[in-house]
Amino acid sequence: MSAAVEPTPAALANPLLRYFAATRPPFLSVTLVGCLVGLASAHAGGVRIDALTAILTVLFALMAHAGVNVLNDYFDDRNGTDAANSERVFPFTGGSRFIQNGVLTRRATGVFGYLLLLAVIPAGLWLAAHSAAGLIWIGIAGLVVGWSYSAPPLELVSRGLGEVAITCGWLLVVVGADYVQRHDFSFAPCAAGLAFALLVANVLYINQFPDAKADAIAGKRTVVVRLGAARARAGYGLLAALAGLWLIGCVLTGHLPSLALAALVPLGLSAAALKILWKRAMSSSALAPAIKLTILAAVTHGLVLCLALLFG
């Protein structure tokens, strides 16, 4: 187990701090970056960015992600995954530990998660009224993907479809942020966002290695559980390679500026993470550096791509 300190009731005695921390704020950074990519995509298309709707888009996308995080804790406690996870690499895998450590009850966690998702609905409708009706369908798709990721009856992550759900979810973040400004659908945010979404999916993918034994016990048939750690290692490299190839293809076809090729540089972090994973896939406690590199690769790629869209 990692040496990081897990949450306790004493450390989170303040109710507001407790519920805020339950959303796992550090991990919301990928959604913030996804929104920035979408806004940069709209700007690159000649759209004048409206500050108010841009800020609200970011805030409510973060709220939706927070709700998904909390519900994931709720459902992973219900199915026994987090309780059985003795090889977790905290704080990256094995959940927030709020329920298991008595910081929040399972019921309070579930209610909080659903309230966060419900709060996004009126905000989404307001944004749709100030952009275009298509945003409603983007929002519905995002909420369904986020909820069904861990919730029955679909439980996409348990069926080996977690990476597909994550890719779709974070691509929708980019598309939605672009749509609010553009007021129309465009291929541009897909060109800009798919490589980023694939790198975010790799965060989930590498997290499955430390969690594999607990997932198998709970009946979660993730890709790593299905293939086994040795064979599943190649999947990490495949997702990173697909991200790179998509970016190159979009530059060659003129859908992204040539400056966007600079966003390939952070894939070196993915390569470094893959090297660690290849050697240490069977040793959960040794994967923390690779997990950190994977998160950094996704975030850095997104930020570099934003700059390329703004100045390319």
Q: Render each residue's pLDDT in the chain as its tens digit; 312 residues.
A: 345 799 999 999 999 999 999 999 999 999 999 999 999 999 999 999 999 999 999 999 999 999 999 999 999 999 999 999 999 999 999 999 999 999 999 999 999 999 999 999 999 999 999 999 999 999 999 999 999 999 999 999 999 999 999 999 999 999 999 999 999 999 999 999 999 999 999 999 999 999 999 999 999 999 999 999 999 999 999 999 999 999 999 999 999 999 999 999 999 999 999 999 999 999 988 999 999 999 999 999 999 999 999 998
What range does the domain containing 182 cover?
15-311
Q: Does residue 61 sit in helix, strand or coil?
A: helix
Q: Does 7 reside within a domain? A: no
Asked if residue 153 has a cis previous peptide bond (ω within 30° of 0), the answer is: yes
d(CA 137, CA 50) in angstroms, rounded, equals 21
Ramachandran sector of residue 50 (left: φ over 0; alpha: ψ -120 to 50; beta: rest) = beta
Whether the CB-CB separation of 276 and 303 falls below 8 Å is answered with no
* pLDDT given at position 288: 96
**What's the gap between Cα 266 and its chain centre?**
17
Type of residue found at 297: A
Whether the CB-CB separation of 158 and 221 falls below 8 Å is answered with yes
* pLDDT given at position 3: 57
Q: Does 141 reside within a domain? A: yes
Q: Which two tokens stand for residue 235?
A: 């999947």
* pLDDT given at position 2: 41
d(CA 53, CA 153) in angstroms, rounded, equals 34
**What's the gap between Cα 299 and its chain centre?**
11
Whether the CB-CB separation of 305 and 196 falls below 8 Å is answered with yes
What count of residues does the chain have?
A: 312
Specify the number of domains making up the chain.
Answer: 1
Q: Does 133 reside within a domain? A: yes
d(CA 20, CA 43) in angstroms, rounded, equals 32
Whether the CB-CB separation of 214 and 90 falls below 8 Å is answered with no
Number of Cα atoms under 13 Å in the Cβ half of residue 65: 24
Q: Does 4 reside within a domain? A: no
Q: Does 8 reside within a domain? A: no
d(CA 57, CA 45) in angstroms, rounded, equals 18
For residue 289, the domain's CATH number is 1.10.600
Type of residue found at 248: I
Q: Does 2 reside within a domain? A: no
Q: Does 143 reside within a domain? A: yes
Q: Which two tokens stand for residue 214?
A: 């607990």
Least Cα distance to 126 among 197, 216, 60, 209 occurs for: 60
**Spatial CB neighbours of 275, under 8 Å, sequence gap ≥ 6:** none
Q: Does 5 reside within a domain? A: no
Torsion of CA 9, 15, 17, 19, to 10 degrees: 90
Q: Print the SS3 string covering 102-150.
A: CCCCHHHHHHHHHHHHHHHHHHHHHHHHCCCCHHHHHHHHHHHHHHHCC
Whether the CB-CB separation of 163 and 269 falls below 8 Å is answered with no
